Structure 1
Amino acid sequence: MVDLEEQFTEIFRRHHEAVWRYCARRVGPDAAFDVAADSFLIAWRRLGEVPAGGGDVLPWLLGVARKVVANEQRRRRRGDRLVAKLGQFARAPAPVSGNYPDAGMALPDLVTAMRTLSLRDQEALQLVGWDGLSASEAARVVGCSPSAMANRIRRARQRLETALDVSGERGVNADRNAPPHGEGVAYEN
């Protein structure tokens, strides 16, 4: 085991900076630390596959880092799509499948609004808005009844809309006397 540790330590000492720079150019300096660390974790797990020749190690490591970078970039794109979809979802009259109308909102406002929600509300909106699950499917994921999940989604959407209204960026429901989404006509006594 000591020989493997020494081998890995030498690989890390020689190539960490180069791998970090490679990652930083592709995902930025902050994420590069995590991406480089993941790359070296894979190298440790696959130490038997690391080329024995000193000149072949860095290209092999950069090949590993390239795949880790691609995973990070996919994760970011999924996150960006989630934020955009949730912005559209918050304005949809009901959870439906297919395309949503353009939300026309700045992503930072939506991210800020999402962060005001509880983790439970965020999960409900993400399961339906990002993962494309129905309320029944989302209920199975979290272990509750479909009606409880439908209520959770409805309340989370209302809280998200309230958070978006507070940010002052919404111009969707100009008529504040109109009934909320999904409710019937309000009658006065």
Structure 2
Amino acid sequence: MGPDNEVIERSARQPAVFATLYDRHATSVFRYAAQRLGDHAADDVMSETFLVAFERRTAYDLTVIDARPWLLGIATRLMRKHARVEAVAWRGMSAELAAQIAPDFIELASARIDAQRLTSGLAKALRRLPEIDRDTLLLYAWGNLDYASIATAMQVPVGTVRSRLNRARRRLRRAAGIETHEQETDHGRADAAPQHA
């Protein structure tokens, strides 16, 4: 079977072919949703993501080879419906999860107690981020998408992604007690650039 865009194109004529997309990306979608909502809710989000994707497959931009940003964008929008579940998950966020978002902040802590206090502050700052900034940050950190792929997933320009990530980073740095006066640089993932036909 060919790349994602060819699978989606073929599925318009042969709907059963769409299962290939599920086989390729279900684990990624589930993992991303589970990190945000927990395993139980992630199952629902993953299933619904592929249902929505199947229903909207004729609107897919066939010049984009990799469908993962599109699928994670759908999952992100669906997770907004699960906002109450996510709020509970954020309150119970562990130090390990916060460290995944900002390991450089944890490394700066000189003692374990400082790291715990720092993690608690970061978790609180993450909960307080505007939803669109948090979604953007989590697509970057947990979805492992580059800036262009996040823009595709969220249906916004790349400049908007940069602004949202910079704003989120500034707030997290403030919560960590790190003051930086330097201009943000492009932290986009060059190793995961989207592929276009």
TM-score range normalised by the length of the shorter chain: 0.3 to 0.5
If the length of structure 2 is used for normalisation, what is the TM-score? 0.37
If the length of structure 1 is used for normalisation, what is the TM-score? 0.39
Instruction: Name which one, 1 or 2, has greater alpha-carbon Rg.
Output: 1
User: Which protein, 1 or 2, shows the higher relative CO under an 8 Å CA cutoff with sep ≥ 6?
Assistant: 2
